[in-house]
Structure 1
Amino acid sequence: MTDKQNAIAYWKKNVKYLVILLTIWFVVSFGAGILFKDELNTIKMGGFKLGFWFAQQGSIYVFVILIFVYIRLMNKLDKKYGFDE
């Protein structure tokens, strides 16, 4: 592949990862915290209703985990396309 084709393929894969990870975060934060809170509130976690927990804490934890997943995916992608240090 040429450098330009390599860069385009790298960028497409990067955008794909971003869309997937941000979709997961949206589903967890908006879906679990707002849309499905009534169903989740029937479950208790640490003395709090699970819907409340997702709205207050869960989406933040998931976001931090997704940051580490993104770092790992990008390190692999960098090595695959030769952009690593």
Structure 2
Amino acid sequence: MYLEDERLTPKGLEIVGQALFGKERWKSPLASILGLQSSRIRDVVRGARPSPVGWTDEILKALEEQSQRCLAAKEAIEREMKKERE
């Protein structure tokens, strides 16, 4: 079974939300990438409803995209620092 087929727990949703958007005010931006109102995210976090299976794939894509952007920024900074030393 792949992660895309799994539901995120409230804690899992919090972990990815904070990883993507920081420890404060992550629910609205996460809801935005899922095309939802932030109340849906808040409902899952407080345990009022389960997260839909479909959210997992979208969130995994967002994490991968963020990872790629961070890696590209790291590489760009390293190139810039190398130029400064030359």
Which bin holds the TM-score, normalised by the shorter protein?
A: 0.3 to 0.5
TM-score by length of 1: 0.39
TM-score by length of 2: 0.38
Structure number, greater radius of gyration:
1
Q: By percentage of residues, which structure has more strand?
A: 1
Structure with the higher fraction of residues in helix conformation: 1
Higher relative contact order (CA 8 A, sep 6+): 2
